[in-house]
Amino acid sequence: MKRILQFSQVLALALISISAVGCGSNNGPPTGEVHGQVTYNNEPVEGCSVVFTPKAGGRSSSAMTDAEGNYELKYTISTMGALVGQHRVELFTAVQRVVNDEGVVKNEGRKEMLPKEYNSATTQVAEVAAGDNTIDFHITGK
């Protein structure tokens, strides 16, 4: 019985140690804080989905713009920013129309307002460095 108790204690200690790995702020790949503003024809774009996808591979970061067009990327639930390096950037404003089972429209939706070179056929690239990064997107169009 004593041997089983000791094994259980060692197992519990091992599990606690394993779960603590990765909980510190210095663990994980290098990231930089990223924030900025999205405007279209000099007007802030509210509700724009901003996605940074690392060109070298890895987890994407994303954000949604506020009423002033400002965004702040989130890498994980507890980490703000994006991986250090070059990123492919996509900006989406389209919202799908939502109809419930009874046929009632819950959300009218919205067509994409930004040119395709910012979303479906993006040509946008941004460099994220360690530390604080301000990356704005001032878009003009019809």
* 17 — pLDDT class (breaks 50, 70, 90): very low
**Token couple for 139:** 């878009």
* 134 — pLDDT class (breaks 50, 70, 90): very high
Architecture of domain 29-139: Sandwich (2.60)
Can you tell me which residue has the tokens 């479906």? 120
Tell me what the mean pLDDT of segment 11-18 comes to.
Answer: 41
18-70 pLDDT, tens digit each: 333 344 455 789 999 999 999 999 999 999 999 999 999 999 999 999 999 99
Mean model confidence pLDDT for the chain: 84
Q: Which of 85, 63, 66, 71 lies closest to 129, judged by CA? A: 85
Confidence at residue 106, expressed as pLDDT on a 0 to 100 scale: 72
Confidence at residue 26, expressed as pLDDT on a 0 to 100 scale: 57
**Token couple for 53:** 């996808």
User: How is the chain split into domains, by residue range?
Assistant: 29-139
| pLDDT of 1 strictly over 60 | no
Distances (CA, A) of 44 to 11, 15, 26, 81, 116: 55, 48, 35, 21, 18
**Between residues 20 and 136, which one has the greater pLDDT?**
136
60-82 pLDDT, tens digit each: 999 999 999 999 999 999 999 99
Q: What is the residue-wise DSSP string for 113-130?
A: -S-GGGTTT--EEEEE-S
Confidence at residue 102, expressed as pLDDT on a 0 to 100 scale: 79
User: Using H for helix, E for strand and C for coil, what is the string for 11-53?
Assistant: HHHHHHHHHHCCCCCCCCCCEEEEEEEEEECCEECCCCEEEEE
